[in-house]
Amino acid sequence: MILMITGTRTGIGKALAEHFLEVGHDVVGCSRRPSTIDHPRYRHHEADLADLGQTKRMFRSVRQEYGKLDALVNNAGTSSMNHFLTTPDEVSRKIFDINFFAVLNCCREAVKLLRKSTEQTSAILNVSTVAVPWAIEGQLAYSASKSAVEQLVRVMSKELSTFGIRVNGIGLPPVHTMLTRTVPRPKIDTLIARQAISRQCTTADIVGPVEFLIGRQSEFITGETLFLGGVH
Ligand SMILES: NC(=O)c1ccc[n+]([C@@H]2O[C@H](COP(=O)([O-])OP(=O)(O)OC[C@H]3O[C@@H](n4cnc5c(N)ncnc54)[C@H](OP(=O)(O)O)[C@@H]3O)[C@@H](O)[C@H]2O)c1
């Protein structure tokens, strides 16, 4: 398979890219800063997904190199944890630009390549968070942007079904990455205590469900966001 995973420089995206390379797939990744992965089947694009021109250039180059994609994992994301009263307008807009509009733009560009997939079905997978079902205070713009992504999953799954493209989401509890490094430990522990499986989610817990949701075993599943850790 040829997979595109966004946000592969660090964290969950990097762990996913390394896993799929290890099991023999070709991986195209991206981030604003240079790659931290060195592998013969890995291609990195330095692109800011908040910029539509850069996004289109990246997909054009993927088309020239591979001619198709079998799966797109929209992983790149950002957050800012603050009371909404003290969150400046530009911060909220930046969160929506990356977490929602960049996902929408990547999906639109990727469809042209996913339609050329030779797999039985091709797939888009988006990343959501427990901040949506738990409506966590201090994460208004972040959770609202991911809530929009979950709605995108539902609507897009219908709009793309005629092209044989499935669209799903994965909902994550707290994972130790750059994104969560400034969240105080007691706050993380309180969230973990709310999970049915009350230990911290790791990248190793995520790769299996991602592999399932973009692979043939889930070819009759679309429009769903699967939450890990027992969060409802
Ligand atoms: N960690 C958690 O607890 C948690 C929980 C629920 C959901 N999630 C979601 O999981 C996803 C991955 O997060 P993470 O925890 O792995 O965070 P992370 O370590 O901060 O990784 C984010 C990645 O996205 C890239 N990125 C950020 N903005 C970008 C942009 N404008 N254009 C291109 N690439 C960009 C970053 O690289 P550059 O800085 O070089 O651009 C980095 O590689 C996010 O969607 C996040 O919302 C995380």
pLDDT in tens, 24-73: 999 999 999 999 999 999 999 999 999 999 999 999 999 999 999 999 99
Grade residue 16 by pLDDT with cuts at 50, 70 and 90.
very high
Inter-residue contact 78 to 98 (CB < 8 Å)? yes
Tokens 């799903």: give the residue. 168
Ligand 1 pocket test, pick from 78, 94, 128, 191 with the greatest ligand atom count within 8 Å of Cβ, gives: 78
CB of 125 shorter than 6 A to ligand 1: no
pLDDT in tens, 195-223: 999 999 999 999 999 999 999 999 999 99
CB of 12 shorter than 6 A to ligand 1: yes
Grade residue 232 by pLDDT with cuts at 50, 70 and 90.
confident
Report the pLDDT value the prediction gives residue 176, as an integer from 0 to 100.
96
- The residue whose CA is least distant from atom 37 of ligand 1 is 31
CB of 106 shorter than 6 A to ligand 1: no
- The residue whose CA is least distant from atom 47 of ligand 1 is 77
pLDDT in tens, 88-119: 999 999 999 999 999 999 999 999 999 999 99
Q: Which atom of ligand 1 is nearest to the CA of 31?
A: 34
User: Ligand 1 centre from 53 Cα, in Å?
Assistant: 20
Report the pLDDT value the prediction gives residue 25, as an integer from 0 to 100.
98
Domain boundaries, the chain: 2-227
Mean pLDDT confidence for 149-155? 98
Mean pLDDT confidence for 2-30? 98
User: Ligand 1 centre from 232 Cα, in Å?
Assistant: 24
What is the CB neighbour count within 10 angstroms for residue 159? 13
Grade residue 5 by pLDDT with cuts at 50, 70 and 90.
very high
Q: Which atom of ligand 1 is nearest to the CA of 15?
A: 16
Torsions phi, psi for 8 (to 5 deg): -100, 5
User: Ligand 1 centre from 4 Cα, in Å?
Assistant: 15
The superfamily CATH assigns to domain 2-227 is NAD(P)-binding Rossmann-like Domain (3.40.50.720)
Task: Please give the mean pLDDT across all residues of the chain.
Answer: 97
Report the pLDDT value the prediction gives residue 120, as an integer from 0 to 100.
87
**C-alpha dihedral over 56, 58, 64, 70, to 10 degrees?**
-90
